[in-house]
Structure 1
Amino acid sequence: MKQEAYNNIETWFNNYIAGFEIEIEEIKLNINLKRNHTFRVVELIKELSQETDMDEKDVSLAQISALLHDLGRFEQLANYGTFSDTEEINHIQLGISTITENNILSELTEEESNIVIESIKYHNELQLPKTIDSQLLPFIKILRDADKIDILYIVADYYSNNKQGNNKRLEMDLSDKPEISKKVYQSIIGEKLVNFKDVLTINDLKLYQMSLIFNLNFKKSYKIISEKTYLKQIFETLPKKDLVIDMYRQMKIHLENQL
């Protein structure tokens, strides 16, 4: 039954995206980027679920959360031309509002709908509150890992194969300055996920994205990131300052210790 619900929601999702009429090429590019990201995250859920006690129904429910986790990004891009979250333009709030207004989860029970909404709500929080219900945790953790793995795939590919400045929205409209924030350095040396509020330049952004490895939950996640060499690809596009080399070394050690 959950697989049927997923299929129906996927049909709605594809029709929803097709409804945006975009003239700006970079916006169209990013709409497509986010659509592809969504479906890769859905597939990663299945792969990561092999490390969990999730049954088939739970996996389908987690995949529904994955399908809808970035739903608000499409409105954010189409109507506001940005990936940057603010109090007024937050992609999670936009997505949850769209889900509610369109009654997208009507085929799910109230409990299942709550799991989907809560998974979306917490999928990119810096830290999870300790008060989260234990029943929700597996769904939230698997979505957080799948999302981070694919973000690393996207940015490693972009930084390695595209001229800087080609996609200002993916670069969060940040300045291309050589400076690296002291707070970014301190977080990474302390093996902590960088707070996005401390990101001031494109170099900071790259290091923030690399620091996603400090916030993973599954051994399989570390294995995928290690095998795909995402960190190395991003590192090779950074200035080879001593502090950058120190941060990269710290991240490599952390990654290897999780395998």
Structure 2
Amino acid sequence: MKKEDFLNLKAWFKDYVRSFHSEDTLILQNVRLKEEHTSRVCENSSRIAISEKLDEEDYYLAVTIALLHDIGRFEQISKYKTFHDSESENHALLGVRVLRSAGVLSFLSKKEQDIIFTAIENHNLQKIPDGLDGKTLLHSKLVRDADKVDIYKVLTDFYLIKAISPNPALEHGLPDDEKYSAHLIQDIFNNKISSIKGVRNCNDMNLTRLTWLFDLNFIETFRLVKERGYIEKMIATFPQNSETNAVHVHLNKYLDSMLDNA
């Protein structure tokens, strides 16, 4: 891909998003939220791509995937008024359908289109499927990292205002109490990525998100997490006790070990 290709897609993206602007406050709030999220994921992807010394073609492929990774979110929030796939539909697959229907990538080679579609399909999975070629795997990993880092920002920003400015599209309808599940704490100590199946409350959901740290792929991603203090911000949402303090220490040790071995 070339810079001009990316800029043309960026212009299309802006027009597409504008078509979802609504007088419905919930929809407009979340369209803007995802538009801002997309912009930051592009910035994260750019930093990671530069740190990995990707050539021009792969650099613009990476930021294009970042630009389009959540394209399904706009139809999702407009149609279902939620971002929860379990209550609506898989936003990644929806996004691929949107792009195919619009034909906006038809000027690209089949190989480039396949990489973009596959990376989008994989960006919200718990685990990337086996069997991908090296270039597709690279771009699948890169957008997942860039996305996860900004989801931490979206969530930690939301926790600060949740009590006075709730957003049903971001909430899972889970109890917000002081409890949390022991097996999720153990997953962290085992450096294991947790499943969201069976989470019981908000603390459980946030513990699963902390295990995303074990699914990050690039040193620059770890730098971004540390630079922006996301572990501390996430830990601050839990009851403060010896167990959550131990989780905090463990995650920081893991993060520092990844950076020290760079």
TM-score normalised per structure 1: 0.93
Alpha-carbon spacing, 1:31–1:183, altered in 2? closer, same or farther (3 Å): farther
Relative distance call for 1:44 and 1:134 in structure 2 (3 A) is same
User: Structure 2 CA distance, aligned partners of 1:158 and 1:53?
Assistant: 34
CA distance in 2, matches of 1:167, 1:188: 28
After alignment, is 102-111 or 84-93 more displaced? 84-93
Q: Distance in 2 between matches of 1:183 and 1:81?
A: 32
Looking at structure 2, the residues matched to 174 and 116 of structure 1 have their Cα atoms a distance apart, in angstroms, of 34
1:154: which partner in 2? 154
Give how far 1:129 is off: 2.3
Q: Which residue is 1:192 aligned to? A: 192
Distance in 1 (CA, whole Å) between partners of 2:239 and 2:165 is 17
- The separation in 1 between residues aligned to 2:256 and 2:161, in whole angstroms, is 26
Contact 2:26–2:81 (CA under 8 A) maintained in structure 1: no
Tell me which residue corresponds to 1:114: 114
Percent sequence identity over aligned pairs: 34
2:254 counterpart SS class: helix
- Cα deviation, 1:37-77, whole Å, max 9, x if unaligned, reads 10111111111112324201111111111111011111111
- Report Cα offsets for 1:193-229 as digits up to 9, x if no partner: 2212243211122222222211101111111111111
Report the 3-state secondary structure (helix = DSSP H, G, I; strand = E; otherwise coil) of the residue aligned with 1:136: helix
For 1:99, the equivalent position in structure 2 comes to 99
Question: Which residue identity does 2:125 align to in structure 1?
Answer: E
Answer with 114-123 or 17-26: which moved more. 17-26
Deviations 1:92-143 (A, max 9, x none): 1110100010101012100000010111011122112231111212111111
Question: Where does residue 179 of structure 2 map in the other structure?
Answer: 179
Instruction: Describe the shift of the 1:44–1:227 C-alpha distance in structure 2 as closer, same or farther (beyond 3 A).
Output: same
Within the alignment, does 1:124 sit opposite 2:124 as a pair? Answer: yes
Take 1:112 and 1:2, find their aligned partners in 2: how far apart are those partners?
A: 12
**169-178 or 39-48, which moves further after superposition?**
169-178
Cα distance in 2 for residues equivalent to 1:242 and 1:26: 39
Q: What is the match of residue 215 of structure 1?
A: 215
Partners of 1:160 and 1:232 lie apart in 2 by 13
Which is worse superposed, 96-105 or 85-94? 85-94
Q: Which runs of 5+ in 2 are unaligned?
A: none
Indicate the residue corresponding to 1:49 in structure 2. Answer: 49
Tell me the residue number matched to 1:65.
65
The offset of 1:12, in angstroms, is 1.5
Distance 2:233 2:162 in 1: 13
Over 3 Å counting, the alpha-carbon distance change for 1:31 and 1:228 in structure 2 is: same
Could you tell me whether the CA contact under 8 Å between 1:235 and 1:248 is conserved in 2?
Answer: yes
- Unpaired runs of 5+ residues, structure 1, are none
Shift of 1:234: 1.9
Match of 1:22? 22
Count of matched residue positions in the alignment of Structure 1 and Structure 2: 259
Decide whether the 8 Å contact of 2:178 with 2:203 is kept in 1: yes
Alpha-carbon separation, structure 1, partners of 2:198 and 2:183 = 6
Change (3 A) 1:87 1:239: closer
